[in-house]
Amino acid sequence: MSELASTREAYGKTLVELGGQYPHLVVLDADLSQSTMTHYFAKHFPDRFFNCGVAEQNMMGIAAGLASSGKIVFASTFAVFATARCFDQLRMSIAQPSLNVKVVATHGGLSVGADGFSHQAIEDVSLACSLPGFTVVVPADAAEAERVVRLAAETHGPFYIRLSRPVTPQVPHNGQGFVLGRATTLQDGSDVTIITNGLMVTRALAAAETLSGQGIECRVLNMATIKPMDEEAVRLAAKETGAIVTVEEHLQQGGMGSRVAQLVVEHHPVPMAFVTVRDVYTHSGTPDELLQEHGLTSSGIEKAVWTVLRKKRS
Amino acid sequence: MSDEKEISEQTGTSAVVNHAESSVMGFTDKDCPSLKELKKTAMTVRRHIINMIAEAESGHPGGSLSAVEIVSSLYFKVLRHRPLEPGWPDRDRFILSKGHAAPLLYAVLAESGYLPVEELATLRKFGSRLQGHTDSTRLPGVECSSGSLGQGLSFGIGVALAGRLNNKDYRVFVLMGGGECDEGQVWEAAMAAAHYGLDNLVGVIDHNELQIDGLNREIMNIEPLADKWRAFGWEVVEIDGHDFVQILDAFENAKQTKGQPTMVIARTVKGKGVSFMENRVEFHGKAPNRDQAAKALEELDREAKCLN
């Protein structure tokens, strides 16, 4: 594992490069530019940056109007506000007309930490995935975030990109070769497949390493693109490894795991287990304390792997 | 999607329409219609609204009829537009935020030559381009999807900002309802448009004083409406929304106003032009039955004859 960096920092710096590359790219924020890192863009391109104040619904409407006039629009705020607060604006003003708006939301998941439940987005992926036409991506590290943001700029249509607050290590063999809608195989194995994304990738890899010492060879897939999902990777995982564990920093309902399950049921039913945020509202704490409380740890993942292996063997 | 791409996509679907032929009076957008012609157009538009909603057996006559003069003024006198080239990048934009007045927009678009008048009969039918509330993906000339209230002004701000960024001199007009001003997003947008100093943006409130459940002042008081918009930093013009001269003056005034957006508060009568619909809240979202439609058309014909 190399140096630590946050996905939101990568986003902010990539936006500046994209601003030079695309004269029609504009950026909106809702009074959180110092946290979402759009402030870098604001400094370089003040004429193409619009701070909408603490008014997310209005921001999404403005984003839609700009996009309908030919602009590539990046609109950023925290994940809770970007989805739950303005879901109807995402739906009617952006998703239905399939406008070129990239909603890049930072502070996804429990790892927001001390701010407490109001700021911990645990339903955002479900909400974004429920909108027809939206591409939904959760990058795992800075390199992947940069690649995803670049691809979003060059791909027409609405995107929801969920970034994280904490810094995270660069995952080996991840990011640079990222293709939208394709899972990245971080390591191959034949006993079980762990499908994960975002901050959980490093924990899944740690679990796989421990399990390898116990004679269990895990395939680890980084399913950064949740929608559209890599059906082939899921089908092969089910067929070739016969058991699947999904791990995500999100509620089970409507998250990445539930979408994997739909594909598994459709193509090749195998035992599955879901490591997710439990179906409750959470509270303040450090990211590690909160993730531990919900079993979003390497030992939690290992436990889930043993559960599906028992079912697979029975 | 760029505006350029929009053009090629949209002209393809409307190429069959001949603007001059589909216009009742035979004028084109090059010939400015006289006041009398505008009044006659308004009657024709009202007839379309009644016919469409009666045929569909559902829809919103009240809030469509109340804004007939406003929207007719825009399409037949004020807007710079090309009905045969709906995606023309330099066009003025009309954004219908009160999406339930879709029949009004469709009628005016048809009279302008964006679609055949005969197509108006497909309102709300399966497979029609004329959706119950406007859908920008189906009908060229419809700038944004609407129906969930409170979103159009924000959209208009985005379009106006894009115009400024692109050094285009087009103007953006957004029509809202009085009841729609209950929505919080309207006031987020009110603040933002003034903050950005968007003098290329004109809002119009079709202030007919009624919303679904009753009178604005009883359901949710929005007064003092003009003071509110002024306090938010807008130039405000209050007019009789059925008086063409006042409407056209208000839009001219907006053109001269620099550094701030203009809000035209148009006092109107819900259901205007049909005696038994005027100021009647039940015709907000109810279609006239066959007899009522016939009676309404009779009234409108009588009115039209008086104009001759």
How far is the C-alpha of B77 from the C-alpha of B79, rounded, in Å?
A: 6
B143 HSE (CA, 13 A, CB side): 31
Are A21 and A83 contained in the same domain?
yes
Per-residue pLDDT at B30: 45
Which of A135, A153, A168 finishes a domain?
A: A168
- The interface pTM score, or ipTM, of the predicted complex is 0.96
As a whole number of Å, the end-to-end CA separation of chain B is 46
Which of A168, A194, A210 finishes a domain?
A: A168
With contact defined as beta carbons under 8 Å apart, do B160 and B189 qualify? Answer: no
User: E strands of A81-200, at which residues?
Assistant: 101-106, 135-137, 159-162, 167-169, 184-187, 192-196
A75 touching chain B per CB within 8 A = no
How far is the C-alpha of A221 from the C-alpha of B54, rounded, in Å?
A: 57
Whether pLDDT at B59 is above 50: yes
Are A216 and A240 contained in the same domain?
yes
Q: Which residues of A are less than 8 Å from B147 in CB distance?
A: 92
Alpha helices by DSSP H, listed for chain A, are 7-21, 33-36, 39-44, 56-68, 79-80, 87-88, 124-129, 142-154, 200-213, 231-241, 256-267, 287-293, 298-313
Are A89 and A24 contained in the same domain?
yes
Is B192 close to A58, i.e. CB distance below 8 A? yes
Q: Please, which residues 54-113 of chain B have a Cβ atom closer than 8 Å to chain A?
A: 89
Are A38 and A177 contained in the same domain?
no
How far is the C-alpha of A245 from the C-alpha of A204, rounded, in Å?
A: 10
Over residues B98-123, the mean pLDDT reads: 98
Is B153 close to A61, i.e. CB distance below 8 A? yes
B159 touching chain A per CB within 8 A = yes
How far is the C-alpha of B153 from the C-alpha of B174, rounded, in Å?
A: 6
Residue A55, SS3? Answer: coil
CATH at A234:
3.40.50.920
CA distance A86 to chain B (A): 10
Query: What tens digit of pLDDT does each residue of A203-243 get?
Result: 999 999 999 999 999 999 999 999 999 999 999 999 999 99
A69 touching chain B per CB within 8 A = yes
Q: Which residues of A are less than 8 Å from B89 in CB distance?
A: 70
- List all residues 6 or more positions away from A73 whose beta carbon is below 8 Å from its beta carbon: A25, A26, A27, A28, A63, A66, A67, A99, A100, A101, A102
CA distance B265 to chain A (A): 21
Q: Confidence band (pLDDT; 50, 70, 90) for B34? A: confident
Query: What tens digit of pLDDT does each residue of B192-230 get?
Result: 999 999 999 999 999 999 999 999 999 999 999 999 999
Q: In chain A, which residue's Cα lies nearest the Cα of B151? A: A61
Select the residue of A68, A93, A99 nearest B151 (Cβ to Cβ).
A93
Is A50 close to B161, i.e. CB distance below 8 A? yes
Residue B211, SS3? Answer: strand
Number of domains in chain A: 2
Select the residue of A48, A58, A96 nearest B154 (Cβ to Cβ).
A58
Q: Which residues of B are less than 8 Å from A88 in CB distance?
A: 148, 151
Q: In chain A, which residue's Cα lies nearest the Cα of B159? A: A65
With contact defined as beta carbons under 8 Å apart, do A103 and A161 qualify? Answer: yes
Are A17 and A162 contained in the same domain?
yes
Q: In chain B, which residue's Cα lies nearest the Cα of A97? A: B137
Domain range for residue B82?
A: 3-307
Per-residue pLDDT at B308: 77
Are A211 and A90 contained in the same domain?
no
Are A178 and A211 contained in the same domain?
yes
CA distance B44 to chain A (A): 31
Are A152 and A205 contained in the same domain?
no
A154 tagged catalytic:
no
Is A98 close to B158, i.e. CB distance below 8 A? no
B166 touching chain A per CB within 8 A = yes
Select the residue of A47, A48, A61 nearest B155 (Cβ to Cβ).
A61
| Structure token pair of residue A244 | 């699947």
Q: Please, which residues 79-108 of chain A have a Cβ atom closer than 8 Å to chain B?
A: 88-89, 91-93, 96-100
B167 touching chain A per CB within 8 A = no
Are A186 and A164 contained in the same domain?
no
CA distance A177 to chain B (A): 27
Select the residue of A59, A66, A96 nearest B145 (Cβ to Cβ).
A96
With contact defined as beta carbons under 8 Å apart, do A82 and A67 qualify? Answer: no
In sign, the C-alpha dihedral spanning A39, A43, A49, A50 is positive
Select the residue of B2, B155, B185 nearest A64 (Cβ to Cβ).
B155
Per-residue pLDDT at B307: 86
Q: In chain B, which residue's Cα lies nearest the Cα of A155? A: B1
Is A92 close to B143, i.e. CB distance below 8 A? no
Q: In chain B, which residue's Cα lies nearest the Cα of A90? A: B151
B191 touching chain A per CB within 8 A = yes
Is B147 close to A92, i.e. CB distance below 8 A? yes
Number of domains in chain B: 1
A149 HSE (CA, 13 A, CB side): 32
| Structure token pair of residue B236 | 């405000």
A17 HSE (CA, 13 A, CB side): 10
- Active-site residue, from A56, A123, A144, A302: A56
Per-residue pLDDT at A2: 60
Q: In chain B, which residue's Cα lies nearest the Cα of A98? A: B137
CA distance B298 to chain A (A): 38
**How many CB atoms lie under 10 A from the CB of residue B218?**
10
Are A146 and A117 contained in the same domain?
yes
Q: Which residues of B are less than 8 Å from A155 in CB distance?
A: none
Per-residue pLDDT at B2: 39
Q: Which residues of A are less than 8 Å from B189 in CB distance?
A: 58, 61
CA distance B276 to chain A (A): 34
Q: Please, which residues 128-187 of chain A have a Cβ atom closer than 8 Å to chain B?
A: 156
Whether pLDDT at B13 is above 90: no
Is A66 close to B166, i.e. CB distance below 8 A? no
Is A97 close to B192, i.e. CB distance below 8 A? no
Is B161 close to A65, i.e. CB distance below 8 A? yes
Over residues B252-271, the mean pLDDT reads: 98
Residue with tokens 């947008």: B189
Which residue positions in chain A have pLDDT lower than 50? 1
B164 touching chain A per CB within 8 A = no
Whether pLDDT at B133 is above 80: yes
CATH at B249:
3.40.50.970
Which of A168, A203, A234 finishes a domain?
A: A168
Q: Which of A183, A152, A166 is nearest to A14 (CA)?
A: A152
Domain range for residue A256?
A: 171-313
